[in-house]
Structure 1
Amino acid sequence: MDLPVVGIPREEADAHFGWLAHFASGDFPASSTLTQKLLGWRPVQPALIPDLDGGHYFDEGALRTPTP
């Protein structure tokens, strides 16, 4: 997508992200173990990284803006 990536010091995160700074800087580990146990759910889809590596989310044609 050719978006610039810039690192900012932690001290500047509040000003940059506003109310979202708490979530952007937090470490919130998550697991589907409880969901699987309570609901009997078992994931059958590909894992995140292999799914992204498939390339179908980033089809170049989908990123183009139609011209009138």
Structure 2
Amino acid sequence: MATPNYGYEKRQKELAKKKKKEEKAREKAARKLSPSSEGLAPGDPETDVTSLERDPPTVPELPTKDG
């Protein structure tokens, strides 16, 4: 009886994992390039990167001991 080739099996798993990771990265890049109709509008300040560059988010002041 032939012995299992564990090295081959491991390599196939690694290739499948790499392929899945690359596909996920491609899908993420495609989503980033084309704004979706779901959720907030592209011009919305919460999602618009250019508006964040012009108007950085304000950080509330922390209360001091004096009040």
TM-score range, shorter chain: under 0.3
> Which protein, 1 or 2, shows the higher relative CO under an 8 Å CA cutoff with sep ≥ 6?
1
Which is higher, the Rg of structure 1 or of structure 2? 2
Give the TM-score taking structure 2 as reference length: 0.27
Give the TM-score taking structure 1 as reference length: 0.27
